[in-house]
Amino acid sequence: MVPPGTPLYRHRLATRLWHWINALAVVILFGSGLGISNAHPRLYWGSYGANFDHAWAELPHFPGWLTIPASYNLAISRRWHLFFALVLAFGLLAYMVASLVNRHFSRDLALTAKDVSPAHLAEDVRDHAEFRFHDADDPGRYNSLQKWSYLLVIFVALPLMIATGLALSPGMDAAWPWLLEVFGGRQSARSVHFATSALIGGFSVIHLALVILAGVSNELRSMITGWWKVPA
Amino acid sequence: MSAAILTRRALVAGGIAGAGGLLAGCDRVVQIPAARKILFAGEDMHKGLQRALMNRGALAPEYSRAEMSPIFRSNGTSNPNTPLYNEWAANRFAGWRLAVNGLVDRPLSLNLAQLRSMPARTQITRHDCVEGWSAIGQWTGPLLGTVLKAAAMRRSARYVVFTCADLFGGQPYYESIDAVDAFHPQTILAWAMNGAALDVPHGAPVRLRIERQLGYKQAKYITAITAVANLDGIGRGKGGYWEDNVDYDWYAGI
């Protein structure tokens, strides 16, 4: 057992840099995305979809305190969204390359036999319910649910946001027509884009809640300086 | 314990206020000229990346008749409703003329019959509005490139400006595209939609179809096509009504 209070160097520079750049990009993309949603808050499936067509979902009007800019302005929402789309996409790419090179993926995120064992996962759920997030013998290691949620965000949700976002661009649809085939049409891609953004929003809320439960100052320090203290 | 809960509550409240502050901060940032310039540079980055990733002639997807929208909604002006336009419409656009001018060696003034007699392309394509909706329709008309070649557009021309018959705040709607899109094999001057003469809500008698860009570039009610070296001095210099007035991207392939 590692004694409580032991300092551990837990997050490398590439991870920390990307975390904050990506957090900023996600917040801005989410706010500006809700502003864009207000322009036409209806979701369709297939290639086309407009006012006279069947919408599978009608979204609420998002209030000004959630949108960028606060007062409706589609052009400015798009300026924010499209600039930070580049930050998100190239940031993710740089982080992935760095994490292969510095072995962050293979050391910290690669699944082990334990992470796929239903018995262990059930135990991990019980530990979370009791606010126990760290293995006393190997406290620096991500727990299994943590690994799965990071893997889901890094390798599924964020790439899906980028790919569906590209499919919304008429220029990219000419450059890479397979984008539309993958998602079954531009309006389907738009629906997947919105649904995945809700998934990322949900992840962000749970992530922040767990940071608070696990100890804000310790968690924040580790994501700023890299150093984390083994909790009691 | 209760102290800890209070702290947590304060932190949650602080976090929410912080995120709200960040969103509000964005509205301040966008007012700073240097920050605005960086943010708006995203358009050129996307344009550069897209042009690098696609062949000059890469085609927008085309669809079958079965894939067409049952109703293709109209958008923007649904009727220019000026005395001159109403007179044209009353005579089935017999009096309408399309001027092709600017940096051309042979300025043209084409009537609808002449335009209809030119070799035409028919394409079923998707129209994507900047707001998010899409509609699929069939368009027929000559390639813009054919018309520009007939007018002998000069090499010094870099952009093509479309002047329209509909007025916004007393000024004609206008749009512009560059030579890459002007000579694209799907860029046409459509005089027919879904197999019938183009109707008034969709831009009669002739509208632009530029299939790798968003809806606001698809100028309707065209009266003049002007080849220019740059966009300075036209409108407020940003290349289109929406670009000038609400900062829409000039490059609308995004």
d(CA B212, CA B178) in angstroms, rounded, equals: 12
Residue with tokens 């018309």: B147
Mean pLDDT of B40-60: 97
Tell me the percentage of chain B whose pLDDT exceeds 90: 87
Place B40 in a pLDDT band, splitting at 50, 70 and 90. Answer: very high
Of B123, B126, B142, the C-alpha closest to B134 is: B126
pLDDT in tens, A158-169: 999 999 999 999
Q: pTM score, two decimals?
A: 0.94
Place B20 in a pLDDT band, splitting at 50, 70 and 90. Answer: low
Q: How far is B8 from chain A (nearest CA, A)?
A: 7
Q: Is the pLDDT of residue B144 over 70?
A: yes
* Domains defined along chain B, listed by start: 60-246 (3.90.420.10)
Q: How many CB atoms lie within 10 A of CB A30?
A: 22
Higher-scoring residue by pLDDT: B20, A145: A145
Q: Is the pLDDT of residue B8 over 60?
A: no
Q: Judged by CB atoms within 8 Å, which residues 220-249 of B form the interface with A? A: 242, 246-249
Partners of A53 on chain B (C-beta within 8 Å) are 69-71
pLDDT in tens, A91-134: 999 999 999 999 999 999 999 999 999 999 999 999 999 999 98
ipTM for the whole complex: 0.93
pLDDT for position B25: 85
CB contact under 8 A, B246 and A75: yes
pLDDT in tens, A47-77: 999 999 999 999 999 999 999 999 999 999 9
* Domains defined along chain A, listed by start: 7-229 (1.20.950.20)
pLDDT for position A1: 80
Nearest CA in chain B to A186: B134
Task: Round to the nearest angstrom and report the end-to-end CA distance of chain B.
Answer: 52
Higher-scoring residue by pLDDT: B170, A73: A73
* Lowest-confidence region among A155-164, B2-11, B67-76: B2-11
Picking from A28, A52, A190, the nearest residue to B132 by CB comes out as A190
pLDDT for position B17: 62
pLDDT for position B18: 65
Kindly report the average pLDDT of chain B as a whole number: 93
Three-state SS at A72:
coil
Number of A to B CB contacts under 8 A, please give it.
Answer: 156
pLDDT in tens, B99-108: 999 999 999 9
d(CA A99, CA A112) in angstroms, rounded, equals: 18
What residues form DSSP beta bridges with B192?
B140, B197
Amino acid at B241: Y
Residue A33 tokens read as 């995305």
Three-state SS at B174:
strand
